[in-house]
Amino acid sequence: MAAFDIDAGSGNWSSNAILHLRYTADATGERPPRLFLKMVSTDLDDESFGASEVDYYIRDYVGLAETPLVRCYDAVYSAELQRYHLLLDDVSPTHVLASSRPPTLAYGLALAEGLAALHAHWWGAARLAEAAAPIHDAAFIRRFVAIAEPGVDHILAAVGDQLEPHWPGLMRDLFARHPAALIARAADANGFTLIHGDVGENNVLVPR
């Protein structure tokens, strides 16, 4: 590569840039004209997240044919710095966020097929053991619920007058009963798989 120009940007949790690449005359192999660089700090004051997005691209689906993922050229996570980066194909000339297009049946079916291809790859207890991704135990589930449960009072205080009369009771009943159901279900690892965890309309790209 001879040089590159940068178009800088940002996301909810990241700084990013589109790199416009220029190659030397003797450059060989694949020469993508543009790449997308995403840089993330995982230290978010009172919470943090780790290497899951890096693993998603360079570990979890390596070798799986025709995965519906953007090509990743490089990705590194630093636990010491609490930062990571991804270097991906820039597909902005051909794709846009799903949130910018009205959903259609064809889109819904394509999304289901794409997710099914990813989910099938790690489906079941034996495959999850190979991935070193055990099902969360009861202590983890209780901790997760304990983080969310105080939100009920905040919701009721903020918009309680906008809720149907039976909703407050249902919300409290959910936290009273659902954790035990989750713990019971987690006792059998079959039927679980690795998932994206945030397949929202702003995390899915669709053709222009």
Are residues 12 and 89 located together in one domain of the fold? yes
pLDDT tens by residue, 70-114: 999 999 999 999 899 999 999 999 999 999 999 899 999 999 999
C-alpha dihedral, 14 to 64 to 193 to 199, nearest 10°: 40
Are residues 15 and 81 located together in one domain of the fold? yes
Residue among 123, 121, 118, 117 nearest 189 (CA): 123
Q: Taking the alpha carbons of 187, 193, 194, 198 in that order, is the dihedral positive or negative?
A: negative
Domain that holds residue 46: 3-93
Domain stop point among 70, 93, 116 = 93
Number of domains in the chain: 2
Checking if the pLDDT of 61 tops 70, the result is: yes
Global pTM reads 0.79
Domain stop point among 31, 63, 93 = 93
What does the pLDDT read at residue 77?
A: 95
**Within-domain flag for 110:** no
**Within-domain flag for 195:** no
Q: Residue 66: left if φ>0, alpha if ψ -120 to 50, beta else—which one?
A: left
On the CB side of 187, CA atoms within 13 Å amount to 6
Provide the CATH number for the domain around residue 53: 3.30.200
